[in-house]
Structure formats: structure tokens, C-alpha cells
């Protein structure tokens, strides 16, 4: 990964993470409601990352990449179940978890694309 690619990845991933955190915080008390907002944010992030590395990617493939990477990160579900319903604390915890999962997915995908020689 070149420095220029890494910088572009930082902007894409951090922007998506901030958006996911906002969705997670705002929808914490509604079980699974934030997924309807966070998953499209993550899919858009993967599509943008593909562009950084010149990888041709369909929306379906991007959705699959998000699902595959996110499936290994169960903290999101545990967080929602245990504390997501608590006003204030649940919002903060949900926001942090949504941002963290999005960051992890973003960097895993970026490393995968970079490894393809992009």
C-alpha cells in the first residue's frame, strides 16, 4: 500500500466510522435498527476502498465482503444485548462499538485489496 493509498483509506474509513458511530448512538435503544443504517455505510466504504486500489467490485460483492469481515466481529451484538438499551451509557457504548467494527472491517478490506497488488 502506497502512502497516498493509505491516506485515502484513512479518510474513507474514518469518515465511515464516524457515520456508523452516529447511527449507533442515535439508534441504540431500538434493537437491530442501526444495522439498517450501518451496513449501507460499510458497503459504501468498501466500494470506495475498492476504488483506491483499482479493484472492480459490484455492490453485491461489497455486501459480501462486509458480511464476511463483520461476521468475525461479534462484539457488536454482545454490546447491543448487554448495554444497548441503557439510555446514555448504551448510546455511547453502541457508538464506540459501531465505530470500532467499521474501522476493523475497513482496514481488513483495505489490506486485502492492497494484497491483490492494487
- The pLDDT tens digits of the residues spanning 2-48 come to 999 999 999 999 999 999 999 888 765 565 556 678 888 988 999 99
Own/partner long-range contacts of 65-68 (Cβ < 8 Å, ≥24 apart): 65/109, 65/112, 66/39, 66/42, 66/105
pLDDT digits (tens, 9 = 90+) for 55-109: 988 878 877 877 766 654 555 555 556 655 667 777 787 888 888 889 998 999 9
Count Cα atoms within 13 angstroms, Cβ side, for 115. Answer: 6
Q: What is the pLDDT of residue 5?
A: 96
Whole-model pTM: value is 0.78
Separation CA 78–CA 38 (nearest Å): 16
- List the chain domain ranges: 3-115
Amino acid at each position: 500500500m502506497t502512502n497516498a493509498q493509505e491516506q485515502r483509506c484513512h479518510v474513507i474509513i474514518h469518515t465511515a466510522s464516524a457515520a456508523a458511530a452516529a447511527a449507533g448512538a442515535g439508534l441504540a435503544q431500538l434493537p437491530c435498527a442501526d444495522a439498517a443504517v450501518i451496513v449501507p455505510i460499510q458497503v459504501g466504504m468498501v466500494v470506495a476502498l475498492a476504488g483506491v486500489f483499482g479493484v472492480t467490485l459490484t455492490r453485491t460483492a461489497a455486501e459480501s465482503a462486509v458480511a464476511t469481515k463483520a461476521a468475525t466481529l461479534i462484539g457488536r451484538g454482545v454490546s447491543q444485548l448487554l448495554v444497548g438499551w441503557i439510555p446514555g451509557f448504551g448510546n455511547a457504548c453502541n457508538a464506540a462499538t459501531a465505530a470500532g467494527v467499521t474501522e476493523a472491517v475497513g482496514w481488513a478490506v483495505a489490506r486485502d485489496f492492497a494484497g491483490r497488488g492494487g
